[in-house]
């Protein structure tokens, strides 16, 4: 257990439905990241936050995806009008940024999304 | 797009043997990290090596970095059945405010250690 939690762990939904995932990072971490991982591949970066500010979004994050971190603590990732191609493991990670220092990212267990 | 490429894609060895995995990347980096993932689970951070470092050790793990060749290797010595997992290298090329930013992962090496 890395201290990063994600909910739910598994989600099965029908195409066209909206889904929302939650990530609770390690409490003192000011950076939070979302990645997506498909079978047999490494994780791909989606977006990240420093405190409540969303600093970068990948081109993978289409208009149907939105992420928030309203109070700089937990984060949510919403997918609207899900498509079968959205089926993947969604991973959240957190880290602590201190000027001049580098720290590793701690990953949660992931949310596995299946779109039928 | 993925930055790193791991080699081999799959590796099968006996307990007690050493396992070596290689990673190549394309752009300049601030640091390179290795992660482990058990089937269907999250990633666990193993080791981080900065761009100005050439070798780093942690327990049975040894990581090397050659920035001139844009490559890294992970050596697991005296492997155990419990080391069976996928291993990923990930590069951090830095960015706004320095420190860690997004990680770019390779496709991973699937290691199987047989008792």
Task: Grade residue B1 by pLDDT with cuts at 50, 70 and 90.
Answer: very low
Residues 40-99 of A with CB under 8 A from B: 40-45, 48, 50, 55-56, 58, 89, 91, 93, 95, 97-99
pLDDT in tens, A54-75: 988 888 888 999 999 998 899 9
Q: Which of B32, B8, B77, B30 is nearest to A101 (CA)?
A: B30
Residue with tokens 């993978």: A60
- Give pLDDT < 50 ranges for chain A: none
Q: Name the residue facing B42 among A2, A40, A50 (closest C-beta).
A: A2
Which residues touch A78 (CB under 8 Å, ≥6 apart)?
A18, A19, A20, A21, A65, A66, A67
pLDDT in tens, B37-73: 998 788 999 999 999 999 999 999 999 999 999 999 9
With beta carbons less than 8 A apart as the criterion, state whether B3 and B26 touch: yes
**Three-state secondary structure readout of chain B:** CCCCEEECCEEEEECCCCEEEEEECCCCCCEEEEEEECCCCCEEEEEEEECCCCEEEECCEEEEEECCCCEEEEEECCCCHHHCEEEEEEEECCCCCCCCCCEEECCCEEEEEEC
Q: Which of A5, A51, A49, A53 is nearest to A26 (CA)?
A: A5
Rounded Cα distance, A24 and B33, in Å:
23
Beta bridge mates, A25 = none
Pair type for strands A44-50 and A106-107: unpaired
Residues 65-104 of B with CB under 8 A from A: 88, 90, 92, 95-104
Q: Give backbone dihedrals phi and psi of A44, rounded to 5 degrees, phi first.
A: -115, 135
Tell me the nearest-neighbour CA distance from B30 into chain A, angstroms. 9
pLDDT for A98? 67
């Amino acid at each position: 257990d890395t201290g990063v939690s994600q909910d739910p762990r598994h989600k099965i939904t029908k195409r066209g439905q909206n889904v929302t995932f939650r990530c609770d990072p390690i409490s003192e971490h000011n950076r939070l990241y979302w990645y997506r991982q498909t079978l047999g591949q490494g994780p791909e970066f989606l977006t990240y936050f420093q405190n409540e500010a969303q600093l970068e979004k990948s081109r993978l994050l289409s208009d149907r995806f939105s992420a928030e971190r309203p109070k700089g603590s937990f984060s949510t990732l919403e997918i609207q009008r899900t498509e079968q191609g959205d089926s993947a493991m969604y991973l959240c990670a957190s880290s602590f940024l201190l000027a001049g220092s580098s720290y590793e990212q701690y990953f949660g267990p992931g949310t596995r999304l299946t779109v039928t | 797009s993925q930055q790193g490429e791991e080699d081999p894609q799959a590796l099968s060895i006996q307990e007690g043997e050493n396992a070596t995995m290689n990673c190549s990347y394309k752009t300049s980096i601030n640091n390179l990290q290795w992660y482990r993932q058990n089937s269907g689970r999250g990633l666990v951070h193993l080791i981080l090596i900065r761009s100005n470092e050439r070798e780093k050790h942690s327990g049975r793990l040894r990581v090397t970095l050659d920035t001139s060749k844009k490559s890294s290797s992970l050596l697991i010595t005296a492997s155990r059945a419990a080391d069976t997992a996928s291993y990923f290298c990930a590069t951090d090329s830095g960015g706004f405010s320095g420190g860690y930013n997004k990680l770019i992962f390779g496709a991973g090496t699937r290691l199987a250690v047989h008792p």
